[in-house]
Amino acid sequence: MQGLVLAVQRGNGRAIVHEGVGPQELTATFAIAPPAMARRLHAGDMIEAQLDRTTKPPTLSAIRMLGAESLTNIPASSQQPKSALRDVTPLVVGNQVPQTPFIDEHGRPFTFASLRGEPVVLAFIYTRCTDECPLISAKFHRIQTLLAGTTTQLVEVSLDPNFDTPGVLTRYAHTFGADLTHWTFLTGNLDRILDFAARFDVSAIADPRYGIIHSQRTVIIDRYGVITQFIDDSSWTPDEVVAAVRNVEHESSNPIARFNLWLSAQAAAICGDSSGGFSGLVDLIATALILTACCWLLYRIGRHIFAAER
């Protein structure tokens, strides 16, 4: 297949690609094989790849970049969808969170400056999502419970602001038992929100068949409005995020949970989506034991063969 890369999810080795060749044009999320190849892709790249539709999500392998001379093979309708590629400056750890104007679930104006002095956990969702968004919100509910009595603020930004009005967000908040004094749901101007999300390397592409195809990223922001950590692996646990927040606040935190979060991030960077079930230190120990057992077995077999030859 040939297509245009709209967004890259480097944390889980996936990319959102507009497939422009075939009986029907299609925008969808694809797994990248090998996952490390995702780190070489960028929004706006034209690619050619082998496509395996038997996997979930479909897998792209043997990827190569298309030069300008190859773009004539791509239908004009798929060459540069302006709504998907946004010209923004990416944020990195140490940057201040942008002061983009939003509207909260009560219909009131909001900027992140209003949370100055309080640590923040930020994520991106939309209320009609039936995949990872409800999972993220359920995890936020657990974080809310674990951090009850602290000043930590939870913020979820809707990637579907035209539908997710303040009233819709309020009903969604009630569904997840949100304490709206410490958990905020944001909507607002579509372009501003998509620019804000794109600065966090979160893309959202509307597709008539699949709703909004979007990447996931959870962000830890300290009490000074400074970004301290990006979490790209969506398999994080509430305990791990709570440990990360407490560490940012220089409070006592669970070092094993923080190590698990770091370890999962490294596994996702190396293995991509195949590491989705990786559970940190426990799986690392189990893997080490399995490798040790295999080495011991190979050693015994080698000794047996060597003794037989003598």
How much is the mean pLDDT over the chain?
83
Q: Is the pLDDT of residue 253 over 90?
A: no
- Which has the closest alpha carbon to 80: 45, 116, 33? 45
Helix (H, G, I), strand (E, B) or coil at 184: strand
Q: Is the pLDDT of residue 287 over 80?
A: no
Q: What are the backbone angles phi and psi of residue 105, rounded to the nearest 5°? A: -65, -15
| CA–CA distance, 176 with 183 (Å, rounded to integer) | 11
Q: Is the pLDDT of residue 222 over 80?
A: yes
- Which has the closest alpha carbon to 234: 125, 91, 117, 308? 125
Domain 102-274: homologous superfamily in CATH? Glutaredoxin (3.40.30.10)
Q: Is the pLDDT of residue 216 over 70?
A: yes
More confident residue, 209 or 36: 36
Domain covering 2-78 assigned CATH 1.10.357 in the classification: no
**Where does the pLDDT of residue 76 fall: very low under 50, low under 70, confident under 90, or very high at 90 and above?**
very low
| Beta-bridge mates of residue 221 | 120, 227
Q: What is the pLDDT of residue 79?
A: 40
pTM here is 0.71
| CA–CA distance, 105 with 185 (Å, rounded to integer) | 5
Q: Is the pLDDT of residue 57 over 80?
A: yes
Is 121 in contact with 140 (CB distance < 8 Å)?
yes
The domains of the chain are located at: 2-78, 102-274
Q: Is the pLDDT of residue 18 over 70?
A: yes
Q: Is the pLDDT of residue 290 over 60?
A: yes
**Where does the pLDDT of residue 245 fall: very low under 50, low under 70, confident under 90, or very high at 90 and above?**
very high
Lowest mean pLDDT across 104-108, 113-117, 282-286 = 282-286
Q: What is the pLDDT of residue 266?
A: 60
Mean pLDDT of 32-46: 87
- Which has the closest alpha carbon to 17: 54, 55, 57? 57
Q: What are the backbone angles phi and psi of residue 116, rounded to the nearest 5°? A: -60, 135
